[in-house]
A and B are shown apart, each in its own frame.
Chain A
């Protein structure tokens, strides 16, 4: 993480330290609890759960709930499992993340190295757009997607996520490029390098870390979105979160809790995986939106 610069000078006694460890470990268990519940119940037969064994390890280990959640569970009216919706999410996320990150990089470059009068206000407008309650744009957005022929498609969802992601991606690159020495840019300009040459040759090669931050942040946010998916997608373009909700809330038939838990993990897996391999960058993105950089 970005913050481990120094340790505190505070000294504590042995009793206090033991107490601190106990509290810290109890909280760790609290945070792990839902994950444990999901994992352990996704691999046991239904009767073990309904029989009061939610907290126990499985007696009869089975992967059947996972298979059902992925390929045959009833979602809405179709017994398709979550598989097609997983691909919908991928189709929505990949273009949205790529385009919003590229735009964010260019915007951040302009806003720091080609400053003009009023640029901070424009950036403020872009940033505020990320924080609005999205309810305020749902009605016109639904109409507009219809007019643009993007209603009920993953393209429409990608588009919406690009619009509301630009503010954050621009923030990341703007803060990152702000500390990049402007003298280098001026020197390159005197040597005759143009706008795109400077970006391509000088800034981009050193933008790796912040690009990772931006991609991870956007990926996590867009994958986890529910509101836009629920509002603008039809049955054929619903993302994973909406499909999972349909699976869990479905009121017909027996409630197959084990399948619900397996589905929940399937929906969580991509972002959890990214968090495990690159959590450092995720936290950096999280902090950049809140604490002065």
Chain B
């Protein structure tokens, strides 16, 4: 009898072990991610300034936030940045992938060259671009010494154009990654269909337009989701490249949140802006993750 009771205990223990093994990770994530999200959202409804404080102020932080020109600039910049960043990365990524897919000699050498920026920190690449684009020592100065005296390229110092230098550096960093995503999609396309269409006299252009690109839909979707989520989170690059300047010309929501929370002691407003960032990302990521996880097994 004692033996069966012991065996019984052992099987029950075996049933519990998996959950026990999973529980530390889950507990940590529930507290430090989801608990903290709730706490930050709560703070966005309080009068917190330098430190968290619990006086309820309703929607006041949000209405203040939407009246701030600083926030408006950040959102406008986000719009410009996200639109250009996503479009250019997708276009360059798709173009390079299609080109690389033409039985290119040296593909094995080119591919890693296109992708290595993903392995670097934005602070590193931001530094390189910052000085390369600097009119005093970078490209403009080089052109002058090479004899092109009238050459002018001061976007990084120009309020109206600085945001485009952020786009340039960000596209440089991630377009290779998008290339890899499209290349994976292209290599998954069945050649038999293409050969059949070629027999029917379809031109290359039509093959791509009618057959290949429509089949890349999943890759387009993944690229869009990944790029838009990266765009909303862009922070390091701006800090390293322009510091949000000149003036506030390259502020983005992420840098806005940081400066309002940690240097301007407006924690309530900072928390409100972080909440809006979370909402934006959640509205893209949650449907995506839901569909990815549901289809699998």
Contact = CB atoms under 8 A, between A and B. Distances in A.
Interface of A: 1-12, 17, 20-21, 23-24, 27-28, 30-35, 37-38, 41, 49-55, 103, 106-107, 109-111, 114, 116, 120, 122-129, 131-141, 143-144, 162-164, 166-167, 170, 178, 194-196, 220, 223-224, 226-227, 230-231, 241, 244-245, 248-249, 257, 260-261, 263-265, 267-268, 271-272, 274-275, 279, 282-283, 286-287, 289-292
Given A279-B119, A290-B226, A291-B184, 18 more contacts: A10-B194, A31-B114, A54-B141, A54-B142, A129-B33, A133-B281, A139-B267, A140-B36, A140-B39, A141-B32, A194-B17, A224-B120, A226-B235, A230-B239, A257-B131, A286-B118, A287-B180, A290-B181
Interface stretch (B62-70, B81-89, B156-164, B284-292): B284-292
> Which 7 interchain pairs have the tightest Cβ spacing?
A52-B145, A114-B18, A224-B121, A34-B128, A275-B119, A226-B236, A135-B274
Interface residues of B, number: 118
B219 interface: yes
A280 B68 CA distance: 46
20 contacts: A6-B187, A27-B96, A38-B128, A52-B141, A52-B144, A55-B142, A103-B24, A137-B40, A138-B274, A140-B35, A143-B52, A163-B28, A164-B33, A195-B21, A226-B122, A248-B240, A272-B119, A283-B115, A283-B180, A292-B296
B19 interface: yes
B37 A264 contact: no
A24 B257 contact: no
A139 B261 contact: yes
Contacts, number: 307
Given A132-B37, A163-B33, A274 B119 contact: yes
Contacts of A227: 235-236
Contacts of A4: 187
B117 interface: yes
A135 B273 CA distance: 9
A128 B33 CA distance: 10
A4 B188 CA distance: 9
Nearest to B284: A131
Nearest to B270: A139
Contact of B130 (A10, A166, A178, A248): A248
B25 interface: yes
Nearest to A111: B22
B120 A133 contact: no
B232 interface: yes
Contacts of A143: 52
Interface string B19-50: 10110111011101111110111010000000
